[in-house]
Amino acid sequence: DQSGLEHRLAEAEGKMEALMESMQDSAVIVKNGRIQSANSQLETLLDLPRRELLGRAFAELVASEDLLPALERAERALRGGTPEEVSVTLYPGGRASEPREVRIRFVRMEDAGEPAVLATLRDDGDRQQLESRLQANRKLLDATLDSTSEGIWVQEISPSGHLGLLVNRSLEALLGV
């Protein structure tokens, strides 16, 4: 009966909406290259209302230099069913908008009986800033160790039991290593 099918469809759509809203990550359903659905976390991440996202081509959000890898990962997920990840820069409001560094995970799904992709997005900007700071601190430590004439030996045992060892060039010269 038609009304029973419509009721079950509405019920299933409600469950999908509730599931997407319960996710911690930003999420979007993309079908035929267009955004079909998005959760409120995506609105927050991109600083755009959902109504401006729905129906929009997903590729419009992705920086041109990241577009090919992102589309390849989405296509592979769609064809093979294996989740695919990629880090990209998004421009939610076009090139003039504030860029967002994100990590996207594409997973194949069905939407109204047709293949679609569920893309979950995580803000990647914090991780990239931490990596940059770590790299800068490492360079500063190396410069400091190399600038002293004293031999320096640093030994650390990690919680997993791995031994970390750091020596400077002065100690290497002193030990003849």
Give CA separation, 138 vs 25, 130, 131, 144, 156, in Å: 31, 12, 10, 10, 16
Give the residue carrying structure tokens 């931490």.
130
Least confident segment among 109-113, 125-129, 136-140? 125-129
Of 65 and 174, the structure prediction assigns the larger pLDDT to 65
List the one residue out of 63, 52, 4, 64 whose CA is nearest residue 28.
Answer: 52
Dist. CA 64–CA 152, nearest whole Å = 47
- C-beta of residue 117 within 8 angstroms of C-beta of residue 30: yes
- C-beta of residue 41 within 8 angstroms of C-beta of residue 25: yes
* pLDDT tens for each residue of 15-33: 777 777 777 888 999 999 9
Of 95 and 108, the structure prediction assigns the larger pLDDT to 108
* pLDDT tens for each residue of 115-128: 999 999 998 866 66
DSSP structure string for the chain: -HHHHHHHHHHHHHHHHHHHHH-SSEEEEEETTEEEEE-HHHHHHHT--HHHHTTSBGGGGB-HHHHHHHHHHHHHHHHH---EEEEEEE-BTBTTSPPEEEEEEEEEEEETTEEEEEEEEEE-HHHHHHHHHHHHHHHHHHHHHHH-SS--EEEEE-TTS-EEEEE-HHHHHHHT-
Task: Report the percentage of the chain scoring pLDDT > 70.
Answer: 93
Give the residue carrying structure tokens 């600083």.
47
For residue 69, is pLDDT > 90?
yes
Dist. CA 123–CA 138, nearest whole Å = 25
